Amino acid sequence: MPAERTREHTAPVAAARRRRLRADRARQLADLLRRQVLLQGFPAGLLPHEDALGADYGVSRNTVRQALDLLRAEQLVERVPGVGTVVVGAKYPHGLDRLMGLAETLHEHGRVTNEVRTMAPVPAPAPVAERLRLEGPNTDVLYIERLRRLDGLPLSLDLTYVPMDVGIELLNADLENTDIFRLLEEITGQPLGTAEITLEAVNADAHSAAVLQSPRGAAVLMLERLTHLSDGRPVDLEFIRFRGDRITMRGLLHRSV
C-alpha cells in the first residue's frame, strides 16, 4: 500500500514536471525564432514546417507549436491555412550606443513624423528643475508632448522639458518634421555631448494607451533621457514611451578592464 500511495503522488508531480520542461523549451525556442523573425531571417517571411523546426532544434512538435503560440501572442507571426506560419509583424531597431534622434535612427525604415499635441511654458516641477539645473522649482520650462509615427504608425509618445531660454526658440520651429536634437544644436550653436538614460518597462496608462493605440495596461518601453550639450549643460529631459511591440533596443557594449 505505501508503494502504491507513493506512485499516486509521484505520477502527477512527474507529469507537471514534464509540462514545465516543455514550456521551458518552448520559451527557449521562441527566443531563438524571434531573433530570426526580427532580422528577416526567413525567406519570403515564411517559417519552416513545424516538423522541420522540430528536427532543426531537437524538440517535439508540441514544443514547436507552443513556441509559435508565444510568437502569435506577440503578433509577430500568424498561421495561414494552406500556407503555414508567416511573419506578420515587425519591430524597428533603436540603437543605445549613439546619441541620435528617432528620425536619424529609423531613416532606413521609413519617415518619422511628429504630431505636437502640447507645447507651452509651464512651471518646472522640482525634479525637472533639479535635473536641468534651473534656479529653482517653478522656473518656467518649455513642455512639449509629441506623438511620433513611422510611416503613419504610432511608435512613441514623448514628453519633453527644455530650459526656457532655449525653448523660446522652439516655439516657432518645425517640430512636425525635424528631430528636436537637430534643432537644439542649431539654436545653441554647439553639438550635443552626452545623455544619461534609464530604460524600463511600465504599464501604459489610459492616456498613453489611447494615443499610442495600444491596449490599456499593456507594457510599454519607457526611456528616460537627460541630454547635455557638449559643454555639459543639461538641455533636454525626456520621458519617451515606446510601443514595446514595435521597437527593439540594440547596442554594442564593451567590457572595460
pLDDT digits 0-9 by tens, 35-87? 888 888 898 889 999 999 999 999 999 999 999 999 998 888 999 998 999 99
Q: Which class for 85: exposed (0-12), middle (13-18), buried (19 or more C-beta within 10 A)?
A: buried
CA distance linking residue 256 with residue 160, whole number of Å? 33
The amino acid that residue 212 corresponds to is: L
Q: How many CB atoms lie within 10 A of CB 90?
A: 15
Name the phi and psi angles at 237, rounded to 5. Answer: -110, 120
pLDDT digits 0-9 by tens, 201-224? 998 888 898 999 987 678 899 999
Query: Whole-model pTM?
Result: 0.79
pLDDT given at position 75: 81
pLDDT given at position 9: 57
pLDDT given at position 163: 97
Q: Which of 182, 188, 133, 196 is nearest to 165 (CA)?
A: 188
CA distance linking residue 221 with residue 234, whole number of Å? 23
pLDDT given at position 122: 96
pLDDT digits 0-9 by tens, 143-166? 999 999 999 999 999 999 999 999
Residues paired with 95 in a beta bridge: 250
Domains of the chain plus CATH, in order, are 2-87 (1.10.10.10), 92-250 (3.40.1410.10)
The amino acid that residue 26 corresponds to is: A
